Amino acid sequence: MAQRPPARYEPYLDGLFTYCLSVLCDHEAATAALGDVLALAERRGRHVPEAPADRRAWLYALAR
């Protein structure tokens, strides 16, 4: 059973998934990549930016 991502990432999930899908062109690979991005973000938890715009940019940088 998949774990629900932390609420602080909720506003970015659709956009991040769309980005991953546009790069990878495969639904399963994009889903896995999004999971990897969120796991990496959690491991770097103390570095998560507080400002929403900064957090969005940081998450997309992790996805790259």
What pLDDT digit, counting tens, does each position of 24-52 carry? 999 999 999 999 999 999 999 888 899 99
The mean predicted confidence, pLDDT, of the chain is 92
Which residue type occupies 19? Y
Model pTM? 0.86
Q: Does 4 fall in a domain? A: no
Q: Write out the residue range of the structural domain in which residue 27 sits.
A: 10-63
Q: Which two tokens stand for residue 48?
A: 């998560």
Q: How far is CA 15 from the centre of its chain?
A: 9
DSSP class of residue 51 equals: S
Q: Does 44 fall in a domain? A: yes
Q: Find the angle CA(61)-CA(44)-CA(40) to the nearest 5 degrees.
A: 60
Q: Is the dihedral of CA 37, 42, 48, 50 positive or negative?
A: positive
In total, how many domains does the chain have?
1
Q: Does 45 fall in a domain? A: yes
